[in-house]
Amino acid sequence: MTNITQHFADLDEVTLHYLMAGSGFPVVLLHGIPQTSHEWRYVMPHLAQHYRVIAPDLRGLGDSSRPAAGYDKKTVSNDVWRLLKKLGIDAFHLVGHDWGGPTAFSLAAQHRDAVKKLAILDVAIPGDGADFSQNGRRWHHALFRTPDLPEALFQDREHLIINWFFENYGYRPNCISEEDRREYLRTYVKPGAMRAMYSFYRALPQDAEDNQVMLQKDGKLQMPVLALGGARGFGRGMETLESLQRVAEDVRGGLIPDAGHWVTEEQPEFIANELLNFFAEN
């Protein structure tokens, strides 16, 4: 049985909580919203048989601390970079799901020699020209970016929006168990957690601008990229692959069968096998 351990790293203005398992070449897993590093619990044991796996809670989320600012993905990814430097890691494979995907892209774009392989799961990259509206299915983007309103709407009602996401954006309404929903809710009801969540969305225009500047300056990513989208999602599907093809040169990927958006929990063995095969490529 894989031993997954919990740790904390103090990094100036932020403290990151992270999970770690296995040994060998490092693999870094970045979670999405409204999730935490807990979303990797089924994937980590597979990867840890071959790699040293690190899964942090991103700034403001999970059991990491919640600074008032710094939710643009250049800053969020720099937290991860500083964590890895503290762990003595200077080369690694990188995986990101949902908002962990743009964070991973930013990290890879800033540290191209360090990121040996990059995998992005069910998300498009801000600034690549993708349509984030999806015919109203991403209505929450505009709501969360509206100043003050989501704070007022969901104060003491955090479970309403989090449960709605889990029930509507997966392939099956019950794809996230009640026990796991409680674990996610445990952290999102902490003071400042929902504000931090909204801040990830509110930084989207800055993320798009930052990515465009990096791409114009240094060109497309050159490391191998794996791009996978849920086959039963709400329109993303091949969008992840198409998005990464606009910002990287060496891209492969496709669809995750019988999965909506919560791909690491709906199809963990498929994800793990795809990652292991990808990492093993020459």
Please give the residue range of the domain that contains residue 182. Answer: 5-280
**Cα torsion angle, 118, 119, 125, 128, sign:** positive
Residue 42: which CATH number? 3.40.50.1820
Q: Are 199 and 71 in contact (CB under 8 A)?
A: yes
Confidence of residue 191 (pLDDT cuts 50, 70, 90): very high
What secondary structure letter does DSSP report for 248? Answer: B
- Examine the pLDDT at 99 and tell me if it is beyond 50: yes
The whole-chain average pLDDT of the chain stands at: 95
Question: Is 0.75 surpassed by the pTM of this model?
Answer: yes
Q: Total structural domains in the chain?
A: 1
Q: Could you give the residue numbers annotated as active site?
A: 98, 201, 261
Alpha carbons within 13 A on the beta-carbon side of 270: 18
Contacts of 177 (CB under 8 A, 6+ apart): none
pLDDT (tens digit, 9 = 90+) per residue, 62-95?
A: 999 999 999 999 999 999 999 999 999 999 999 9
SS percent in the chain: helix, strand, coil, step 5: 45, 20, 40
Instruction: Give me 47's structure tokens.
Output: 């990867």
Q: Are 74 and 210 in contact (CB under 8 A)?
A: yes
- Examine the pLDDT at 282 and tell me if it is beyond 90: no
Confidence of residue 132 (pLDDT cuts 50, 70, 90): low
Contacts of 228 (CB under 8 A, 6+ apart): 119, 120, 121, 122, 240, 241, 253, 254, 255, 256, 263, 271, 274
pLDDT (tens digit, 9 = 90+) per residue, 33-56?
A: 999 999 999 999 999 999 999 999
